[in-house]
């Protein structure tokens, strides 16, 4: 069981790690993309700064040299597609562009990016050509021209593929770093989680043991009054679980059905022996007293929240489908589903079991009696389902002779529980084991009566 729990824990930790990694990676990616503009600007500024100073120097030299009509500024292999020298009023003094500048300008304008000045000193604008997935950086910065004249240099710089790839690689590396950090963190935390989970399991097991002991004590108490209760409890529980399987009940409903089935007679501990063990028919007054065991069951389990889900079976399994049962006279689907299930299997086991004052009825005769009560005592749909599945179960529980009856019933219930319950419900398996060990110490003889008067037989 521990290995199963640890595997489940590992799967959940891995799933959590995957989810957090994806979330962290996505957040990092969004943040890095938002920072891409600043990054590209920074790379372009750094790469072009020296060349821009060179352009200014060449312009100064050309202005000083009277024989030079135009500065010999070359843009080849520089990454620049436009260089403009402007005066203080930003009037054009000199311009140099590449052959493809007109086409580049046209493409940029077509995607609503405009090359414009900013009057507030230095300005850097990132322009992205979505068609070619290429970045351009427009820069305009103050420059000192000849004779201490203040002017500006305006450039359009084409970011190289290498610089773009570097930006993308930095984004990828930052995303991978964020994901790796999450993975390392979870890897370091898993042993701690495992240790804390182991301690939690130990404490949970201690709590479960305490709860299971409640069922064991209650079962042992009634078995002191009636030694047949042990076998009866197991048989009706197996029948009830088989019904639950066929109906597709969820784990919570199955757990409640199992607890209720085991403890359905616990209230009879409050019934006096002269009624409980009477081999003859009960008088009306005695029968009234016998019905009070339902109230006693409610009082007994009321002190244990863990047993509260058994209340449906304990409180309502003597109700009848037509509303003539007790304690509240519920009818039809007003009766809880688990109680309607258990009413059928409880009566079936009473009919097919032998007592000192009656022989066990055959399977066929018992089924005929149940059919007679369809729609009055029992839910017709549930009874139809029980009849469909009961023969094989009856043969398995009663027909097979095994050397050790304990092993047979123990294994049958264990198989049902393992098919349907996750680890959080395996405490019910320990409950069955603990209860059986308690009950098995008693002899198999009994004089306690089932509620035959209740069957109207």
Q: Indicate whether 34 belongs to any domain.
A: no
* Predicted local confidence at residue 230, as pLDDT: 59
Domain that holds residue 145: 67-159
Count up the domains in the chain and report the number. Answer: 2
Q: Indicate whether 286 belongs to any domain.
A: yes
Q: Indicate whether 53 belongs to any domain.
A: no
* Same domain as 128, residue 277: no
Q: Indicate whether 60 belongs to any domain.
A: no
C-beta separation of 154 from 139 below 8 A: yes
* Predicted local confidence at residue 177, as pLDDT: 93
Q: Which residues lie closer than 8 Å to 366 by C-beta, 6 or more apart?
A: 348, 351, 352
Burial of 159 by CB count in 10 Å (0-12 exposed, 13-18 middle, 19+ buried)? buried
The three-state secondary structure class of 450 is: coil
Could you tell me where the DSSP H helices lie in 35-154? 36-64, 101-110
pLDDT digits (tens, 9 = 90+) for 211-253: 666 665 666 666 566 555 557 777 888 899 899 989 999 888 9
275-312 burial: b if 16+ Cβ within 10 Å, else e: bbebeeebeeebeebbbbbbebbeebbeeeebbebbbb
* Same domain as 372, residue 261: yes
- Residue where a domain stops, chosen among 159, 180, 203: 159
Q: Indicate whether 303 belongs to any domain.
A: yes
Question: From start to end of 194-345, where are the E strands?
Answer: none
CB atoms inside a 10 Å sphere around CB 395: 11
C-beta separation of 208 from 430 below 8 A: yes
* Same domain as 235, residue 129: no
* Same domain as 368, residue 276: yes
Q: Indicate whether 12 belongs to any domain.
A: no
State which residues of the chain have pLDDT below 70: 1-5, 64-71, 110-122, 130-131, 201, 204-230, 355-357, 399-457
Q: Indicate whether 123 belongs to any domain.
A: yes
> Which CATH number does the domain housing residue 104 bear?
3.30.450
Q: Indicate whether 381 belongs to any domain.
A: yes
- Residue where a domain stops, chosen among 159, 182, 214: 159
* Same domain as 361, residue 240: yes
* Predicted local confidence at residue 438, as pLDDT: 44
> Which CATH number does the domain housing residue 289 bear?
1.10.3210.10
* Same domain as 237, residue 144: no
- Residue where a domain stops, chosen among 159, 191, 213: 159
Give the C-alpha separation, 408 to 417, whole Å: 14
* Same domain as 268, residue 151: no
Give the C-alpha separation, 224 to 227, whole Å: 6
C-beta separation of 120 from 45 below 8 A: no
Q: Which residues lie closer than 8 Å to 276 by C-beta, 6 or more apart?
A: 225, 226, 268, 290, 448, 449
* Same domain as 367, residue 242: yes
Residue 144: which H helix or E strand, with range? strand 134-144
């Amino acid at each position: 069981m521990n290995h199963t729990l640890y595997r489940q824990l590992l799967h959940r930790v891995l799933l959590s790690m995957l989810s957090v990694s994806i979330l962290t990676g996505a957040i990092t990616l969004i943040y890095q993309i938002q920072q891409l503009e600043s990054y590209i600007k920074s790379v372009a500024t750094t790469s072009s700064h020296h060349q821009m100073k060179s352009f200014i120097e060449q312009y100064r030299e050309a202005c000083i040299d009277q024989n030079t009509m135009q500065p010999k500024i070359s843009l080849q292999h520089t990454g620049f597609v436009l260089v403009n020298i402007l005066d203080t009023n930003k009037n054009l003094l000199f311009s140099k562009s590449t052959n493809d500048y007109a086409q580049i300008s046209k493409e940029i304008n077509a995607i609503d990016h405009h090359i414009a000045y900013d009057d507030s000193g230095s300005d850097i604008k990132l322009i992205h050509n979505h068609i070619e997935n290429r970045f351009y950086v427009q820069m305009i910065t103050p420059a000192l021209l000849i004779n201490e004249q203040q002017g500006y240099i305006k450039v359009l710089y084409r970011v190289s593929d290498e610089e773009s790839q570097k930006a993308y690689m930095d984004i990828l590396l930052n995303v991978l770093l964020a994901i790796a950090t999450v993975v390392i963190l979870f890897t370091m935390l898993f042993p701690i989680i495992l240790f804390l989970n182991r301690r939690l399991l130990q404490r949970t097991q201690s709590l479960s043991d305490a709860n299971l002991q409640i069922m064991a004590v209650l079962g042992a108490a009634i078995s002191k009054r009636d030694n047949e209760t042990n076998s009866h409890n197991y048989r009706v529980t197996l029948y009830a679980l088989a019904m639950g399987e066929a109906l597709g009940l969820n784990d919570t409903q199955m757990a409640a059905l199992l607890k209720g089935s085991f403890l359905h007679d616990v209230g009879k501990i409050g019934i006096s022996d002269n009624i409980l063990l009477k081999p003859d028919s009960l008088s009306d007054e005695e029968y009234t007293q016998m019905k009070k065991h339902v109230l006693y069951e409610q009082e007994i389990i009321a002190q244990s929240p863990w047993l509260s889900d058994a209340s449906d079976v304990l409180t309502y399994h003597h109700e009848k489908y037509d509303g003539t049962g007790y304690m509240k006279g519920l009818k039809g689907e007003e009766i809880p589903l688990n109680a309607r299930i258990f009413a059928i299997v409880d009566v079936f086991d009473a009919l097919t079991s032998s007592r000192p004052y009656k022989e066990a009825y055959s399977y066929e005769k018992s089924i005929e009696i149940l059919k007679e009560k369809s729609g009055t005592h029992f839910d017709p749909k549930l009874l139809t389902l029980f009849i469909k599945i009961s023969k094989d179960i009856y043969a398995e529980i009663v027909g097979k002779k095994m050397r050790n009856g304990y092993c047979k019933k123990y294994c049958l219930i264990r198989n049902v529980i393992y098919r349907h319950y996750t680890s959080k419900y395996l405490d019910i398996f320990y409950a069955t084991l603990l209860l059986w060990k308690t009950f098995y110490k008693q002899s198999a003889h009994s004089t306690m009566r089932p509620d035959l008067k209740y069957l109207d037989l």
